[in-house]
Each structure stands twice: as C-alpha cells, then as structure tokens.
Structure 1
Amino acid sequence: MLSKTMEKALNEQVNAELYSSYLYLSMSAYFQNLNLSGFASWMKAQAQEELFHAMKFYNYVYERGGKVVLQAIAAPPTEWESPLAAFEAALAHEQKVTGLINDLVNLAIEEKDHATNNFLQWFVSEQVEEEDSVGEVVNKIKLIGQASGGLFMLDRDLAQRTFTMPQDNEKK
C-alpha cells in the first residue's frame, strides 16, 4: 500500500511524464513546420516514449492500491530559436526529469518504501539513456554549425528512430 505522500508524488510524476510527451509532440510540430521531418519523427518517437513512461507510473499506482488523479497538463512552448535551441531545451527538460526521479527515489528511501524504490530504479537507468540520447543530438548539431548540408544529413539520420514498446516482465 502506498502512503498518501508517495501516492501524491507519483501522481505528480504521471503529470510530469504527460507534459514531457506533450512537449516533445510540440517540438515535433515545430520541426515539421521547418520541413525537418526527420527531426519531427525523432521527437514524435520521444513523445510516445514519454507517454509509455506515464502509463508505467499510472499502472504502478493502481498495483500498489493507490488512486490516480489526473491533473491539467501545462501548455508547452511552440517555438524555438533554432533546431539547436529546441534540442538544448529538450536536454534541460530531461535533466529536470532526472531530478524529479531522484526526488522520488529519495522519498521512497525516506519512507522505507522498498517496492517503490525498486520500481523507480528502471527510471533512474532510463534517465541516463534519455540525457545521453538528447545530448548526442545536441553535440551533432553543434558540430554541424551553420552547414545546412549537415543539418539535412542529420535530419535523414534522425528519421530512422522509431518507438518500440519495451517488452518487460512488468506489463507496464
């Protein structure tokens, strides 16, 4: 059984993950408007992944006897100064989410909620991958600089990313 404090914190994380999905979908639309369909596709896959994360939290709350209370999702930005600025914003957002996950782990430890701490370890590892993935694109865009040919090559490469539902034993 979840404590009321943990239940509230996990509900806030559901909202944060839904916002992340919304943010990346907004970034996808931004890139689509720039005719960078590969960048748009990459962000759309990221949006799907964040929705999957939200559902993992959603399902976990119910598995532990809690109640999910959905909250309003804040409107994300819709414009960025450049593709680099958009990906830098994505990296900053992932770093913020890492902090949120770490706060949840700290709360689970404080409450001696070993089951939730165990559940959250998947997200701890996932955030390392998230920051690395976005950071890699930031670095590539910086390497390209003002070379439009490089941007179009990167656009083609980013189009290869697709979201595949992870197959884990947790059914989340």
Structure 2
Amino acid sequence: MTSAPTSEQARQRLCDVALDETIGRSTPDVEHERAVAIFDLLEENSFAPIGHESGPYRLKLSLRDSKLIFSISTEDGADVATHILSLTPFRRIVKDYFLICESYYQAIRSATPSQIEAIDMGRRGIHNEGSQTLKDRLNGKIEVDFDTARRLFTLVCVLYWKG
C-alpha cells in the first residue's frame, strides 16, 4: 500500500517536462520513446532545485553546443534556475548503452533466456552508471533521487537516439 505524498513531496517534483525546439524532431519511433520517457518521468519523480522550495516545477530541456540545458520554473511559470551540463561525461556511457541495447534486441530474436538475461543485466548496469553520473552532475544544483535520475538519464539517451 502506497501512502499519500507529504505536502513537501507534492511540491518537490516535476509537473511538466518539455523539449525545446533545439532538440528537433525525429522518426515516429524516437518521438514515441521521448513521449514515453517524459510520461514515466512525470508519473513518479523527486525533483528539488537547491535553495528553492516552492514547487512543483516545470523543466524545459534544450541542447546547445554539446550541452544539456535545464531551465526550471515553477508551475505558474516563474523562473527558478537554469543549469548547464556538459554532455561529454555521458558520451561513452550513452554509446555503450546503445551498443548493449542493440545486442539485447538481437538476442531477443535468437539467444537463450540465460544469454538474454546476462545481456539485460549488463544493460541495466550501464543504465545505472549513467543515472549515477547524472545524479552526481546535478549534485549541488538539483536534488533528485536515484529513480528520478534513472528516468532523466533515459530521456538523455532518447535525446541522442537518431532512430
């Protein structure tokens, strides 16, 4: 049984996530994955910009010069903060994640269940590494729990995915 969120938990969360036009449009499959990633993030998250306690928050993500920009505002649109993260620390992790995902999808067609499970464990491990890297990069800027970091990292991966 899940308990009702406290008033602080109800405030320290995202109520909206939008992708700036700098992200661009992609194939229908990629657009679907982006929508699912945003839905999952909004469904359950813990998001608290350091030094601000008047959420819930809106997050607008944009890309500029290999940097991920987090523009945060309150639910009513008041600016809270803008944080800029270099994507460089994520390049290897995202590349490895895409490679293992490709192996996973190929394995589903022809591998044994134990081989699929081993690849999936590796996939989850790389995803956890990326999530922890994102959580670390947000440290001192935005307080997120690990599950929220996982959902945000999924969205970062989808931003890279070309379809």
With the length of structure 2 as denominator, give the TM-score of the two structures: 0.33
Q: Which of the two has greater helix per residue?
A: 1
Greater RCO (Cα-Cα under 8 Å, separation 6 or more) = 1
Q: Which of the two has greater strand per residue?
A: 2
With the length of structure 1 as denominator, give the TM-score of the two structures: 0.32
